[in-house]
Amino acid sequence: MTGIEMIKKLMQEGFKIRKIKGSHYHMKKNNNVVVVPHHNKELGKGLYNQILVDAGLIKKGANAK
């Protein structure tokens, strides 16, 4: 999944774009703030999982990929 696809996925989950700083989107839903790089290349496995953990979509230690 690319950064652009992750941003779309988070928006479907109810996250809103809070601000854009350089090529990084800061997204917020309730008290969860997630930073996603806006690149058109694949996110690494660790970064992909950490974004989902920070967003509260998976529990820490679970592998989504």
pLDDT tens digits, 2-60: 999 999 999 999 999 999 999 999 999 999 999 999 988 999 999 999 999 999 998 88
Statement: the pTM of the whole predicted model exceeds 0.85:
yes
Domains assigned to the chain: 3-55 (3.30.920.30)
Beta bridge partners of 27: 17, 34
Positions of E strands within 3-61: 16-21, 24-29, 32-37
Beta bridge partners of 28: 16, 33
The pLDDT, as a whole number, for residue 60 is 81
The pLDDT, as a whole number, for residue 39 is 85
The pLDDT, as a whole number, for residue 59 is 83
Measure the CA–CA gap between 43 and 8, rounded to whole angstroms. 14
